[in-house]
């Protein structure tokens, strides 16, 4: 009897935990219950504090579960043209998170964000700033490639962005950098041109957000690189 009450308490805590992370349903197989409960059973040394409320969660575990929850996503029409879902990558403890628009051809083939030409420029910038790519987190507004690299459409953004919001909630970075118009408009809900917004911090749920140019734009307009470099100096200052 006592054991049953303990189990029910654990299950209730687990459900609250996943609900706070934004999950709306849990397709749980009986055989997986022990595993699902395991974040709550982890030793304190294996946990990381993520939220301002002082809640302790295991970030990598939460990201893995989120990825599992996305599954072989068919929630929008982008699923029809993709090869791979590009979930995002980097450290669950990242102080800095970059958000782009959506995977391009290379990303779609390899399942990793920002690895094509624009990604190489972004990686170079990260390294020049004295960081490693593995130490930051890189994600996109949509996780599947829009064909011919068109902009993602509103219904696609609406289907996919809840997953990004959950990634942000799990990682709780100190600063977010929005790369380009789509990321900035989606996260901040503003339509002001990026050329006017860039260089100043805005706020997303208490996290400072720096909008700046998308690396693909910088490849086409190399003279603007120094503006993004300037924006990144402000970001680095915020991080110290």
Binding positions for ligand URA, rule: CB under 6 A = 100-104, 107, 113-114, 116, 118-119, 140, 216
CB of 210 to ligand URA, least distance (A): 16
CB of 105 to ligand URA, least distance (A): 9
Q: Starting at the edge strand that comes first in sequence, how are the strands of the sheet with 175-179 ordered?
A: 89-90, 137-140, 96-100, 175-179, 207-212, 202-204
Distances in Å between the Cα of 43 and the Cα atoms of 114, 187, 195, 210 are 35, 34, 47, 36
* Identity of the residue, 144 or 170, whose beta carbon is nearer to ligand URA in the bound complex: 144
Give the angle subtended at the CA of 108 by the CAs of 84 and 205, to the nearest 5°.
85
| Residue number with the smallest Cβ distance to ligand URA | 100
CB of 108 to ligand URA, least distance (A): 9
* Identity of the residue, 21 or 165, whose beta carbon is nearer to ligand URA in the bound complex: 165
**Which positions ≥6 away from 103 have C-beta within 8 Å?**
82, 84, 86, 113, 140, 142, 143, 144, 145
* Identity of the residue, 118 or 232, whose beta carbon is nearer to ligand URA in the bound complex: 118
What is the rounded (10 degree) CA torsion for 228, 230, 234, 240? Answer: 100
Tokens 């624009």 -> residue: 118
Tokens 């958000």 -> residue: 99
CB of 47 to ligand URA, least distance (A): 30
* Identity of the residue, 36 or 85, whose beta carbon is nearer to ligand URA in the bound complex: 85
* Identity of the residue, 19 or 105, whose beta carbon is nearer to ligand URA in the bound complex: 105
CB of 197 to ligand URA, least distance (A): 17
């Amino acid at each position: 009897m006592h054991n049953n009450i303990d189990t029910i308490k654990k299950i209730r805590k687990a459900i609250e935990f996943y609900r706070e992370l934004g999950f709306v349903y849990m397709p749980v197989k009986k055989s997986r219950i022990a595993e699902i409960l395991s974040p709550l059973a982890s030793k304190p040394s294996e946990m990381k504090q993520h939220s301002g409320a002082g809640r302790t969660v295991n970030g990598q575990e939460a990201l893995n579960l989120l990825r599992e929850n996305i599954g072989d996503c068919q929630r929008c029409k982008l699923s029809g043209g993709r090869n791979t879902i590009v979930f995002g990558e980097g450290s669950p403890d990242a102080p800095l998170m970059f958000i782009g628009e959506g995977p391009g051809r290379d990303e779609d083939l390899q399942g990793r964000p920002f690895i094509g030409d624009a990604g190489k420029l972004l990686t170079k910038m990260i390294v020049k700033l004295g960081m490693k790519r593995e130490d930051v987190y890189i994600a996109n507004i949509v996780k599947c490639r829009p064909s011919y690299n068109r902009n993602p459409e509103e219904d696609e953004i609406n289907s996919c962005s809840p997953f990004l919001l959950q990634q942000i909630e799990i990682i709780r970075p100190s600063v977010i950098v929005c790369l380009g118009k789509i990321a900035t408009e989606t996260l901040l809900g503003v339509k002001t041109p990026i050329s006017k917004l860039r260089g100043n911090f805005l706020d997303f749920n208490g996290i400072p957000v720096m909008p700046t140019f998308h690396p693909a734009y910088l490849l086409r307009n190399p003279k603007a690189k120094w503006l993004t470099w300037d924006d990144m100096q402000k970001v680095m200052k915020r991080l110290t």
